[in-house]
Amino acid sequence: MPTNRDLDRRGLLKVTGASLATVGLAAAGCGGDDGGSGGTNADGPATLRFAWWGGEPRAVKIKKAIALFEKKNPKIKIKPEFTDYQAFWEKFQTQASGGNPPDVFLNSVAFLAKYDKRGVLLDLKSQIDAGNLSLKNFRGGVESAGQVTGGKQVAVPVGANTMSLVIDKKAFAKAGVEPKFGWTWDEYFKTLQTIQDKLKISGDTGYAGIMYLYDLYLRQNGKAFFKDGKLGFTEDDLTQWWSDYYKRVKSGIVADPKKIEQVKPKSGLSAGLAAGEFTWDNFSVRYEGEGDSDYGLAPIPTTDGKDTGQYLGSLMLSISTKCKAQAQAAKFIDFMVHDPEVGKILGYDMGVLATTDQFDAYKPGEEADKAVAEANEGIAAYETAVDKAGVLGKITPHPSGADVVEAAFLRIAGDVANAKQKVPAAVKQFFSEAEAAFQG
């Protein structure tokens, strides 16, 4: 899965095609009284390097959580390392290649298979069996997001989110339209037309390159974006998706991508260019700070009037196979995802809190910033409603190269929207780049 609202999706994905940067390696790996095998003494002395990405507000919160952990576990010291998203993964690639990754680090589903394949990620089963790390009390089955093909657990969710439609509530009200659970894609696109007819703005900022949204659409139709280590759909499937999208851009019910580009880093939604935008629900806090309207979360459209294809995705924590104090590292992760006080400290910075221990402890309306408080209350209500609707399934494990595939999907969809490439050629290019990414 940053202080998510501060980051542009294209910027997030620039790293995926990057070569290894020339950056200095960090200090030597963790030490402890467990020896080189990882051991089982979770209370023994150790110093752990913990790395994450994000801005200064996230760093302040995580450092408070670290201080609380060290107070309760005085023999274990945590050395923090943080940077922005792109720099994090460039540095991590170099560290991993040099055999010196951080001991504990923030991770994402797009990178699990890649670094598991390279032997970087610790299989957490031994620490779970030893009682140092618990997979209990995770919401909506999100713990499965930390698994690679075969069910091996290589990461533990620290925050969870799901795809949503963020809407300009004033615009929808003026147009006389209301999204409801179970509405269909046909109803959604009719809604966009109504918004355009009545308000003279587009209904959607642009959806064709959002890999996770297309994954939901495919899941609604019995497929998935990834399956068995490769793409789970055909060229004909994608041709239909992108062709329909291009027609909607030309008709105006989906925003002109050139205008969307011009207002960046502001969103086309908060800039008033469109009335809705698909994104992860916890990203929605950004709109209250950027725009002048009122924003809310609406359900994902469906194919059959019921199944949205949704699941909880997450940011996660992993342990390096190079860590010499694996028991202490597992204890630290367990603390970060289960301790109620940590939940109160972190809030929704890395997504809606993944465990009920923390979700129930944190009150999202208590932030000093009223807009943020209201947005977080809306996010909590949305995830609760989605869970109660019974539509949540399990995320499909992403193969090695998924990060590169996601970047290609976004980029090539942009070429289609801007008429830089015709759909048939764009589809063939995407499938070719995806195949190369899987083999890389």
Q: If we measure between CA atoms, which residue out of 308, 310, 381, 300 comes closest to residue 348?
A: 381
Cα distances (angstroms) measured from residue 149 to each of 146, 167, 316, 395: 10, 35, 17, 11
Q: Which of 199-203, 320-324, 366-370 has the lowest mean pLDDT?
A: 366-370
User: 3-class DSSP state for residue 52?
Assistant: strand
* pLDDT digit string, tens, across residues 33-42: 443 344 568 9
Q: If we measure between CA atoms, which residue out of 401, 316, 391, 350 comes closest to residue 143?
A: 316
pLDDT-derived band at 14 (thresholds 50, 70, 90) equals very low
pLDDT value of residue 283: 85
User: 3-class DSSP state for residue 265?
Assistant: coil
User: 3-class DSSP state for residue 179?
Assistant: coil
pLDDT value of residue 372: 79
* pLDDT digit string, tens, across residues 143-172: 999 999 889 999 999 999 999 999 999 999
Cα distances (angstroms) measured from residue 85 to each of 55, 366, 394: 9, 28, 26
pLDDT-derived band at 7 (thresholds 50, 70, 90) equals very low
Residue where the block lists tokens 């959002």: 210
Task: In whole angstroms, give the CA distance from residue 209 to residue 400.
Answer: 20
What is the rounded average pLDDT for all residues in the chain?
90
**Does residue 16 carry a pLDDT above 90?**
no
* pLDDT digit string, tens, across residues 296-350: 999 999 999 999 999 998 899 999 999 999 999 999 999 999 999 999 999 998 9
Joined together, the tokens standing for residue 413 give: 């969809």
**Predicted TM-score of the model (pTM):** 0.85
Let me know if 389 is exposed, middle or buried by CB neighbors in 10 A (0-12, 13-18, 19+): middle
pLDDT-derived band at 20 (thresholds 50, 70, 90) equals very low
Joined together, the tokens standing for residue 428 give: 């063939």
CB 46 within 8 A of CB 75: yes
Q: Which of 29-33, 39-43, 426-430 has the lowest mean pLDDT?
A: 29-33
String of DSSP letters for 64-116: HHHHHHHHH-TTEEEEEEEE-HHHHHHHHHHHHHTT---SEEEEEHHHHHHHH
pLDDT value of residue 40: 61
**Domains, the chain, ordered by start:** 4-160+315-362 (3.40.190.10), 163-310+395-439 (3.40.190.10)
**Does residue 30 carry a pLDDT above 60?**
no
* pLDDT digit string, tens, across residues 37-59: 445 689 999 999 999 999 898 99
Highest mean pLDDT among 15-24, 118-127, 377-386: 118-127
CB 232 within 8 A of CB 396: yes
The count of C-alpha atoms lying within 13 angstroms of the C-alpha of 46, restricted to the half-sphere facing its C-beta, is: 32
